[in-house]
């Protein structure tokens, strides 16, 4: 059973809080005179940690235990680097902290409440110095976390005392709160060492998003000569000529690419706006982890939020919105105070979804939508009275936002004036926007650092009184054309009746260049499918056609972001797709605020390559010329 990372500690009746041990998660099975100690990916620990295996053999029952193998330092703190070096140095105290029991003498205990399982566990553990019961405190998570911070521990684990054990599932019944930022990462390459640095200079790290291997940063810190030699010895056999990354990074020294199989763990200061780790430090290899399971770990909202972290929810409170939040109440997000209003106002009359439901959604989706919003000016499409009421667009926010909300003044040629745009940098700003009635979120194609050069171009397939099957057919033609000229392309539902096809550009071209390339693609597709497509701007001239809208690529134009809600019946969401899904039978209406999270859990974020390495439009134009 796995724990979900959340952003803040909390107090809650019926919950327990344990130390988050800094080691290798392990299962111990004692059965019919045999003892096995192994990792989540079934790697045997029997030889590596044989003293623990010998002590476990003293158990007088057949059991299956869950715990963490650690090495304690002189202060009794688990130390991951001591664990890494234990076989060579034998420094520290090798210990197995056991926190759960899953079976006893052939009886499955996973259906029992956690607190009952822990009572049983305490009775069966042997008296051994290297086998310890992982104790807990009741309900007081906030003070326990503060104590963990003072002791410089990795963090704490919160568990619902009534929860059953759900193997291989990551649920909200178990949560983890870290005292500092850490991330598992897969090594995709290494750079050449400089000066006296031997073997390699830095590791090039990534994580998986669906089937895509995404670059998240370099780390050269945390190594000594011995560790450099050991890691290099494991990397050398994995060398390959091709970069494994979908967004191959630039390196400041020659790079050797490797098959992405080795997992490590790093500490770092923060995530940057482009999704990279700032100042990552290597902590050690993780042989107990499968590379394909390593994803970017972003904290979700704690199960309870509010002015007081310990405040308890009452019947009728909406989860996961702020605990006890009522109209006019204040909550804290990212250290900023927000006042929520009109939470029970109906926004979707047919479904009875409220403004509070909208805020709930954006709180939960924040880790996935924010990469597509950060550093981008926003056009606010406000629906103060829900989707059936009047809406209005607001570009110039003036002095309306609080001081902590970032804004950027940008000159508007059409108005010949400076417009003060809101820039959505964090979850607090996202919820501020939702509280204004922004059902959909509309960012620019470019960031404020490169205002005149978009990060991607868009071909918006907008049907005019024609079936969605024809939209799918047009999308398939666009995909085939772009693939034939080696231009990466990604599709998402509009959240309404159309599809959006994105081409990453990496901020290498101007808006005019992007628009003209999209225009050229539109012309070619229109010639291939003249009966069902149009590039006419006037709706009256494109009836019963799919409009190939390339004009969305002008500076200041906006489209609903990936994972944005749309003001449409059903509370549909603009949802990234695999191209294999873009086929007859695709139903955009099935992607809603109620269904999207199960999809993300299964497929991760399919759209992230849109923010990666851009297409080479010059080469693409040469290929188009050859095609014609």
- Per residue in 402-435, pLDDT (tens digit) is 999 999 999 887 777 889 999 999 999 999 999 9
pLDDT in tens, 185-205: 999 999 998 877 889 999 999
pLDDT in tens, 363-375: 999 999 999 999 9
Mean pLDDT of all residues in 538-562: 91
3-state secondary structure of 1: coil
Fold held by 182-293: OB fold (Dihydrolipoamide Acetyltransferase, E2P) (2.40.50)
Angle at 218 (CA atoms; ends 213, 224), nearest 5 degrees: 125
Q: Is residue 319's pLDDT more than 50?
A: no
Task: Return d(Cα 471, Cα 479) in angstroms, integer.
Answer: 12
Entry field: residues in the chain: 628
Binning pLDDT at 50, 70 and 90, where does residue 219 land? very high
HSE-CB for 448 with a 13 A CA cutoff: 19
Span(s) in the chain for CATH 3.30.470.30: 2-178
DSSP 575: -
Closest by CA position to 571, among listed 357, 344, 341, 370: 357
pLDDT of 628: 63
Span(s) in the chain for CATH 3.90.920.10: 330-443, 456-627
Binning pLDDT at 50, 70 and 90, where does residue 323 land? very low
Architecture of the structural domain at 2-178? 2-Layer Sandwich (3.30)
Q: Is residue 309's pLDDT more than 50?
A: no
pLDDT of 210: 85
Task: Return d(Cα 524, Cα 200) in angstroms, integer.
Answer: 48
pLDDT of 109: 96
Binning pLDDT at 50, 70 and 90, where does residue 301 land? low
Q: Within 10 A of 71 (CB to CB), how many other CB atoms are there? A: 24
What does pTM read for this prediction? 0.53
Share of the chain above pLDDT 70, in %: 95
pLDDT of 378: 96
155-160 and 15-19 beta bridge pairing: antiparallel
| Measured torsion, CA atoms of residues 257, 258, 261, 265, in degrees rounded to the nearest 10 | -50
DSSP 561: P
Q: Within 10 A of 260 (CB to CB), how many other CB atoms are there? A: 24
CB 290 within 8 A of CB 41: yes
Q: Is residue 171's pLDDT more than 90?
A: no
Mean pLDDT of all residues in 10-22: 94
pLDDT of 274: 72
Span(s) in the chain for CATH 2.40.50.140: 182-293
Task: Name the helix (H) or strand (E) containing 229.
Answer: helix 225-235
If one compares 21 and 543, the residue with the highest pLDDT of the two is 21
pLDDT of 304: 41
Share of the chain above pLDDT 90, in %: 75
Q: How many DSSP H helices and E strands does the chain contain?
A: 12, 35
Architecture of the structural domain at 456-627? Alpha-Beta Complex (3.90)
Identify the CATH number of the domain defined by range 330-443: 3.90.920.10
pLDDT in tens, 61-89: 999 999 999 999 998 999 998 998 888 88
Q: 388-414 in b/e burial notation, b at 16+ Cβ within 10 A?
A: eeebeebbbbeeebeeebbbbebeeee
Would you state the structure tokens that stand for residue 119, as one six-digit string?
């009572």
pLDDT of 197: 83
């Amino acid at each position: 059973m796995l724990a979900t990372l959340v952003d803040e500690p909390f107090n809650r009746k019926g919950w327990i809080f344990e130390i988050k041990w800094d080691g290798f998660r392990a299962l111990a099975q004692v059965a019919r005179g045999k003892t096995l100690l192994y990792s989540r990916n079934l790697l045997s620990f029997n030889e590596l940690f044989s003293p623990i295996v010998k002590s476990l053999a003293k158990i007088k029952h057949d059991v299956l235990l869950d715990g963490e193998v650690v090495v304690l330092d002189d202060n009794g703190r688990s130390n991951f680097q001591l664990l890494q070096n234990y076989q060579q140095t034998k420094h520290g105290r090798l210990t197995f902290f056991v926190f759960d029991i899953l079976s006893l003498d052939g009886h499955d205990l996973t259906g029992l409440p956690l607190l009952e399982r822990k009572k049983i566990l305490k009775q069966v553990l042997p008296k051994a110095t290297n086998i310890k019961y992982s104790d807990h405190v009741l309900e007081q998570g906030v003070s326990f976390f503060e104590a963990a911070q003072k002791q410089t521990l990795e963090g704490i684990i919160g568990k619902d005392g009534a929860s059953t054990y759900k193997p291989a599932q990551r649920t909200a019944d178990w949560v983890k709160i870290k005292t500092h930022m850490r991330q598992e990462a897969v090594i995709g390459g290494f750079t050449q060492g400089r000066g006296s640095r031997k073997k390699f200079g830095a590791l090039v790290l990534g994580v998986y998003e669906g089937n895509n291997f995404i670059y998240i940063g370099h780390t050269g810190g945390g190594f000594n000569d011995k560790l450099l030699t050991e890691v290099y010895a494991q990397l050398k056999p994995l060398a390959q000529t091709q970069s494994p990354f979908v967004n191959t990074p630039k390196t400041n020294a020659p790079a050797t690419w490797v098959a992405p199989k080795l997992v490590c763990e790093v500490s770092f200061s923060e995530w940057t706006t482009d999704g990279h780790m700032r100042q990552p430090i290597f902590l050690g290899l993780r042989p107990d982890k499968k590379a394909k399971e390593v994803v970017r770990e972003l904290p979700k909202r704690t199960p309870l939020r509010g002015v007081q972290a310990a405040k308890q929810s009452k019947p009728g409170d909406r989860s996961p919105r702020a605990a006890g939040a009522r109209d006019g109440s204040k909550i804290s997000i990212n250290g900023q105070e927000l006042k929520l209003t009109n939470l029970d106002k109906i926004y979707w009359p047919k479904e009875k979804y409220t403004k509070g439901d909208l805020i709930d959604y954006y709180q939960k989706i924040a880790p996935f939508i924010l990469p597509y919003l950060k550093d981008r000016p926003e056009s606010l499409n406000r629906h103060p009275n829900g989707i059936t009421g009047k809406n209005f667009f607001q570009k110039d926010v003036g002095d309306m936002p609080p001081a902590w909300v970032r804004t950027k003044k940008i000159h508007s040629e059409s108005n010949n004036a400076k417009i003060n745009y809101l820039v959505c940098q964090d979850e607090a700003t996202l919820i501020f926007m939702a509280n204004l009635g922004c059902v959909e979120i509309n960012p620019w194609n470019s960031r404020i650092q490169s205002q005149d050069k978009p990060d991607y171009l868009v071909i918006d397939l907008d049907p005019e009184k024609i079936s969605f099957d024809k939209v799918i057919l047009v999308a398939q033609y666009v995909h085939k054309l772009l693939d034939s000229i080696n231009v990466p392309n990604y599709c998402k539902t509009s959240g309404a009746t159309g599809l959006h096809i994105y081409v990453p550009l990496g901020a290498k071209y101007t808006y005019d260049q992007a628009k003209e390339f999209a225009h050229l693609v539109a012309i070619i597709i229109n010639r291939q499918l003249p009966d069902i497509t149009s590039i006419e701007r006037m709706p009256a001239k494109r009836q019963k056609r799919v409009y190939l809208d390339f004009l969305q690529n002008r500076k200041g134009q906006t489209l609903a972001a990936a994972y944005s809600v749309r003001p449409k019946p059903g509370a549909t969401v603009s949802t990234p797709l695999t191209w294999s899904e873009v086929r007859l039978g695709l139903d955009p209406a099935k992607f809603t605020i109620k269904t999207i999270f199960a999809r993300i859990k299964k497929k991760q974020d399919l759209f992230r390559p849109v923010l990666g390495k851009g297409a080479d439009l010059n080469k693409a134009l040469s290929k188009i010329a050859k095609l014609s």
